[in-house]
A and B are shown apart, each in its own frame.
Chain A
Amino acid sequence: MTSLPSDSAGGSEPSGNGPDLPPAAPLPQAEPTTEHKPAARPSEAKADPADVQKNTKDNETDLTKKAADGNPKNDLSDKMVGGRDSGRLDTSLPVEQERLVYHPYRPPAARSHRQPARAGSHFDLLRERLEEIVARDESEPIILFGLRHDRSFPSEISAQIGLDDLYVRADQGGWPSLKRSNFDDLVANFAAAADGNEGATFIDWIPLAEISGEIGRMIEGFYDDRLREFEARLKERRFRLFLIVVIDSPIALSTVVETNPRIRCLPWTDLWLSNFAGTHKLSANTLYARGGAKLRLAATWCGYQDDDYELNLSRTLETIRPGNVDYVIAEIEKALETAKTRGPNATIGEQSRKDLSKYLGAGENSLANDPVKQVMLSVAVFAGGTRVREYYRVCQKLLPDGPAEILRLPLVIREEIIRKAERLDQEPAPLPGWSVIFDMERDNALGELGIRLGQGQAIELDGKWRGADLKQVIARTYPGLIATLMERIHERRLFLLLSEAESSLLAKIICEIRDACQEGFDDRELAMALIGAQRGLSDLGTPHEIVETLYPGHDAGQVIKLVESIGQYKFIADSLAAMGTPDPELEKHLLNLKGIFPEVTPENFAAKFEALRQRLREESVRRLTRHLIRMRKSSNESEQNRPIVPSMLDIFEQLLPTETYVALLTYMIATTTEVDPPDIGKRLRKEYARANIEEMVDIVLAINQRLKQALNYQDAPHKNWLLAFGPDRKGKAHDDRIRSLAVFIWDIVINYDVLRSTVPYQRMKHLRVVPHIFGDIGSGTGSASDSDTAPEGEKAAATIATRLISGFLDHDPADWLRAMAVIESIFQDVGRFDLADYVQNRIEDTVWVIMTGAAEADWIALQNERDSIAGDLLVSLTASLDLGFERRFDFTAQKVADAVIDNTSDSRWLSLYGLFWPAMIAHWRFAAFGLEPFVPGLEPDRQFRLFLDQLVTTAPKRSGSYRDGFNVLAEAADQCADKADTMAATASAHLYRKKADRLRGLARFFSAHALDVPVVVQ
């Protein structure tokens, strides 16, 4: 239902000017108002403006007289104003009112004769409801009934209401006359009909879509003085008015009731069935017997929850065509089912479309100059279920710029503006913006716009909009509005300025719009809006303000000058010195300058600036990631066709600086499970592939830094790194830079789990990869907790175990090392990566795999002797590999590095580096399951066997080297046990011997699967 326009005089004052006013002069032709004013019917169009007369106090007497004459239709031609051309009724103008004649109601005898017994039973529910309403509202002089019905008088209500002294209107087609009546007319007409008989009840009806004037205001719930006066006059004469509001448009009942809670809804299916039977000459009794009860039950309406079904049912029943009883019953059954499915996606009703057009601003009735309601409704449509606080905040931020409409401002502010404007000596103050109006009108606007507050003050659209998929309609009909909203979000950088809750709402709104617009939505505009969420140096203020932040307490201007001067003098001094003609004066001056602010130097000035820049970048990256993840969660339909994260990243790739883009990608991999790691990895590889050497270094450093940070956090999604990059790419390793990046990352992730300590296994809390290996195996898609939330891309990816087997364990150590050598070559100029250092670390890792996991009693003692034990173990390893008895790690590492860089070196040293592979298998096994042998048949045994089986299946050629490697490691473990014995650490010695046994067991396993081909190390 819509409210009357505020400028409708018919809605605000009676058409009669009241008894004490002088007769008004005929008004000039009014602007036609369109709301609720149907086009004039031909009979109404006969009116001449000249005939317009004022409805004075004397009307009552005249009408009484006319009623006595018994000729109610004398003045039918006097209904129109505005002439033939206006084509519209204007209820704001006084007209000589067509008289309403009421006569006592007499039940139709013929009908009761036809249906003597069953007539009552068909309408028993209606009668009961009428009795209840009349009983409940017995003291009310006016009762409004709401009835879904076609545009005709529901005469059965008069029959069922069961009251004496009931009067009905004589001309049931004359509701247009009723709608133009005011309260004075009605009282006069009632008095004329009752003829002195007090206590009469008048029953009348009016279609909801046609309400206007005072009666319209009464139906719309405006309980004002006029209505109170009307009620008092009715009470005085003990008259009662039962007005049936016939709901003839597809509008939800809750909308009607919300508009005016005094409207009492009546059950309508029995009347519909009766009318249908009567119209199509069918047996009403049969129809009632076979379908009446079902219809009643189905159309039971208790509140807004029933709106959809009730409305759909009424609309569906209207489409039933006549036929025999069986056909009609079948159609009713079908309608009962169809109504269930014709939910909110049903076509938008005409009334809803009009309302939408009125508020969103398209069409003749639009209030496009009311941006408050425009923004409130459009946000509410896309942000249902949001708390009103955030809703208001977002709406306020989306209001247009510029001054608000002055006439809508509060009087005090208006007067202030005018007063200031009159003072010529002052600059005119800026006019208040729309937010002033918004703050003032927002609560009232909610009701008008059909927005209500549900539980927890969450906004939701009320029954007024039920049956309409407003999102789709707005997306298709108001693209300009959507573009405007997106522009405002972008230009005002709302993603940066709004709070978390509010920006979360904003993300939800945008995703809903994107879902509704589908391919029509401009992702670039959204990406621009998101980029606005970044905070840069320029956001911190002027350079002076930034310097003040960096050096608090100093004069920013002086600092800048000083830095510049020092730089210039230093450059000159250095140049002169290089030329062999140093200038002592200059150097002295330079020293003096440096002494002014000793803490300010060009170097730390740049470093501080860079640190600030990085901090801002990090904050921006975090904010962007949060927004993207929120949007991914809020996206529904469009996520299938056009996933939002990849789409945004595609655009970010073009718009963001490379370092920010890389930082964003690495942050996403490191922190969230909501992304598709292979996709992010692909994007990083793409950046890496097209970078020059300097950029490559930056990318590797950025990844390295982020990865190290991530590994420090227990709960970070470490699997992402292994899923995002693949070291098992085909092709020649040594010239494959992209693959070298993957190997570099994998190596860091894998070796992180080796602890440089003799701590017992049960104390190890830092493991990152181990927890995912054996839990995954056999489960298919990762651990149970992750698989539920993991995105599709991750689910599709291989398990971590499978990934490790194919990406790491199946690899030739020499090949792996060559990839690392590529990294060294990239860092050649920077010198921040040394291959020999790297190799030494891995050899040490191998030794630590044996040394770690000592007994609780003596692990600290062993830790204190770590260097000695490690040296002994290296001797054991090199001896086992026929590499001599070497105990210097740096020497062996250099030998290994030389072997891969220089083919002429002894390639046998590579086998020492290669021990890292079996060492990691052993470490995963010990860290996950301990040192005890497996009990056959139990879960740990099953998991580890599955892992080994998968390994020997995937990498059959590696079994031999694993066999040899485990044997070497077992020897070292024995050596470690002996060493522990000599240190009186018997408990640990016992554990080391167990470890040696397990290692030999592994060697036996691989021995059984080893192929009789030599493993050639190239």
Chain B
Amino acid sequence: MSAGLGKVFESWRQHAPAFLVNIETPAGVTGSGIQIDLHHIVTCVHVVCREQDAYAYKEQLGRFPDALREVVSIRCGRFASQGTVVAQHEELDLAVLRLATPRPGVTPPLPLEAGLYDNVCVVGLKRMAERLDVLLNPIKIEVPPASQGNTRTQQKHIYGAVEGASGGGVFAEQGGAIGFLGIATLGGEGYLMGSFIPVEAVLEFVQQKLGIQHCSPSYNSAHALLARGVAPTWEFTGSAPELRLPFTAIARDETDTTASVSFISRRVVSAREARLKSQQRILPGHWRLPAWSDSIEDAESAIRNLGALVGTRFRLPTPDELEISWRGSDSSRAIEGRPTTLSDFAVNGRGIEIPPPGMAEWARDRNGVAFAFERNGDGGALSMVAVPLDQAAVWQPCFRMAFDIEGT
């Protein structure tokens, strides 16, 4: 790899961007894909179809082989699921997979207008034994895009073909930011030539087939997270009425691009939410109260129920995550003489609501050890105090959800 690759590309070498996945068919064909929302991945038809040489098939029959309903394995870091082909482009080597398990917290790459950029890379995710390695192939775009009607359909470049990059993304760096140029395809003229489907065609396709208006949220901040394909904030909406669960991505050290990232709920679970899938009745006041739990198992059960409602798997935050999310001071005061309500939680600089002094919250570390932390520091500097677990029931700690962004 040339030394001229930008900082973001270099960081991708250590941590694949979250939207980049590895695809493997039952026949052992591997390729890459780009996750465009909670459920969908864009890749190439020739990666997921059963036909060994999809391009020869197309030359003979004038279309790509039918890949609909094909089931493939999707992997990215510790995340593993299956994807089913739910849409296929009529002309182009483009297919959309739907994940069997939704993968939240991923933001698709920001599209970049077609053009002749200097620092361009094909990025894929290749499986090397049990490990997934990032493929970074610098390319040079030489031929302007071909068009079908108003849509650019293919653009050629000088390409050192590497197996496994098909279906991956072609990215260009501009001004320190990374833009998505299109989906890399294998076809080309000769060994050193390659092509990709420009982003305009990809967007048009997903919009037509899936009704996805845009697959690239625009954020003003948290560039580091965006560059890693991690959404700075995430919100689940569930089947239950008005169930909205907002999350914020947090990293142990935000300046370290290799630090792991996870998501933590911006607010604690409300008493109403905790009762949604239980037999308990919901009273009017439960909308405004935080959920409380005498035991961490009850809290986790409530969290599991909520995860089921939005189709994902939640866990309690780790002590580290809780500590990061509680950072910052506020002027909230301990509440006496009435139940603590959700409005008593102060919002810190990250938009995360912190319990008022005197309230405790459940946490469980990666080794499975349970903790309850009491918020200390009345109206000033904030601190966490571990509550003895045998006495935690007295505090009736509240709880919030967290989930990992796998594959980063």
Residues of A participating in the B interface, judged by any CB pair closer than 8 Å:
128-138, 146, 162, 253-254, 256-257, 261, 263-266, 301-305
User: Could you tell me if B288 and A256 are in contact, using CB atoms closer than 8 angstroms?
Assistant: no
Min CB distance A589 to B, Å, is: 81
User: Could you tell me if A135 and B289 are in contact, using CB atoms closer than 8 angstroms?
Assistant: yes
User: Could you tell me if A162 and B334 are in contact, using CB atoms closer than 8 angstroms?
Assistant: no
Chain B residues within an 8 Å CB radius of A253: 336-337
User: Could you tell me if A131 and B283 are in contact, using CB atoms closer than 8 angstroms?
Assistant: yes
User: Could you tell me if B338 and A133 are in contact, using CB atoms closer than 8 angstroms?
Assistant: yes
Chain B residues within an 8 Å CB radius of A138: 281, 283
Residue in A130, A133, A134, A257 whose beta carbon sits within 8 Å of that of B336 in the complex: A257
User: Could you tell me if A301 and B337 are in contact, using CB atoms closer than 8 angstroms?
Assistant: yes
A128 to B289, CA, bound (A): 11
User: Could you tell me if B337 and A133 are in contact, using CB atoms closer than 8 angstroms?
Assistant: no
A586 to B58, CA, bound (A): 144
Chain B residues within an 8 Å CB radius of A261: 336
8 closest A-B pairs by CB? A135-B285, A131-B285, A265-B337, A136-B339, A132-B285, A135-B283, A257-B337, A303-B336
Residues of B participating in the A interface, judged by any CB pair closer than 8 Å:
271, 281, 283-286, 288-289, 333-339, 341, 344
A128 to B284, CA, bound (A): 8
User: Could you tell me if B283 and A303 are in contact, using CB atoms closer than 8 angstroms?
Assistant: no
A302 to B358, CA, bound (A): 12
Which A residue sits closest to B335, measured CB to CB? A302
Min CB distance B275 to A, Å, is: 10
User: Could you tell me if A265 and B338 are in contact, using CB atoms closer than 8 angstroms?
Assistant: yes
Q: A264-B338, A264-B339, A265-B338 are in contact. Are A133 and B333 (CB under 8 A)?
A: no
Min CB distance B175 to A, Å, is: 49
Min CB distance A410 to B, Å, is: 29
Chain A residues within an 8 Å CB radius of B283: 131, 134-135, 138
A863 to B391, CA, bound (A): 77
Question: Can you name 6 A-B residue pairings with CB atoms under 8 Å?
Answer: A135-B271, A135-B285, A253-B336, A264-B337, A302-B334, A302-B344
A870 to B271, CA, bound (A): 95
A136 to B281, CA, bound (A): 12
Chain B residues within an 8 Å CB radius of A266: 338
Chain B residues within an 8 Å CB radius of A146: 337
Which B residue sits closest to A267, measured CB to CB? B338
A303 to B339, CA, bound (A): 12
Min CB distance A266 to B, Å, is: 8
Min CB distance B292 to A, Å, is: 8
User: Could you tell me if B336 and A302 are in contact, using CB atoms closer than 8 angstroms?
Assistant: yes
Min CB distance B279 to A, Å, is: 13
Residue in A132, A254, A263 whose beta carbon sits within 8 Å of that of B289 in the complex: A132
A137 to B337, CA, bound (A): 13
User: Could you tell me if A133 and B285 are in contact, using CB atoms closer than 8 angstroms?
Assistant: yes
User: Could you tell me if A302 and B288 are in contact, using CB atoms closer than 8 angstroms?
Assistant: no
A266 to B337, CA, bound (A): 9
Chain A residues within an 8 Å CB radius of B284: 131, 135, 162
Chain A residues within an 8 Å CB radius of B334: 302-303
Q: A131-B283, A134-B283 are in contact. Are A263 and B288 (CB under 8 A)?
A: no
Chain A residues within an 8 Å CB radius of B336: 253-254, 257, 261, 302-304
Q: A264-B337, A303-B337 are in contact. List 12 more A-B contacts (CB 8 A).
A: A130-B285, A131-B288, A132-B289, A135-B286, A136-B285, A162-B284, A256-B337, A257-B337, A265-B337, A266-B338, A302-B334, A303-B334
Min CB distance B317 to A, Å, is: 24
A132 to B272, CA, bound (A): 11
Which A residue sits closest to B376, measured CB to CB? A455
Chain B residues within an 8 Å CB radius of A302: 333-336, 344
User: Could you tell me if B337 and A254 are in contact, using CB atoms closer than 8 angstroms?
Assistant: yes
User: Could you tell me if B339 and A132 are in contact, using CB atoms closer than 8 angstroms?
Assistant: yes
Which B residue sits closest to A136, measured CB to CB? B339
A253 to B333, CA, bound (A): 16
Chain B residues within an 8 Å CB radius of A257: 336-337
Min CB distance A12 to B, Å, is: 27
User: Could you tell me if B333 and A305 are in contact, using CB atoms closer than 8 angstroms?
Assistant: yes
Min CB distance B398 to A, Å, is: 12
User: Could you tell me if A132 and B288 are in contact, using CB atoms closer than 8 angstroms?
Assistant: yes
Which B residue sits closest to A128, measured CB to CB? B288
User: Could you tell me if A303 and B335 are in contact, using CB atoms closer than 8 angstroms?
Assistant: yes
Min CB distance B294 to A, Å, is: 12
A474 to B283, CA, bound (A): 51
Which A residue sits closest to B281, measured CB to CB? A138
Which B residue sits closest to A138, measured CB to CB? B283
Min CB distance B323 to A, Å, is: 22
Min CB distance B90 to A, Å, is: 56
Which residue, A132, A256, A263, has most C-beta atoms of chain B within 10 A? A132
Which B residue sits closest to A139, measured CB to CB? B280
Min CB distance B356 to A, Å, is: 8
User: Could you tell me if A134 and B285 are in contact, using CB atoms closer than 8 angstroms?
Assistant: yes
Which B residue sits closest to A264, measured CB to CB? B338
Chain B residues within an 8 Å CB radius of A263: 337
Which B residue sits closest to A455, measured CB to CB? B378
User: Could you tell me if B288 and A133 are in contact, using CB atoms closer than 8 angstroms?
Assistant: no
A889 to B327, CA, bound (A): 77
A256 to B338, CA, bound (A): 12
Chain A residues within an 8 Å CB radius of B285: 128, 130-136
A298 to B337, CA, bound (A): 17
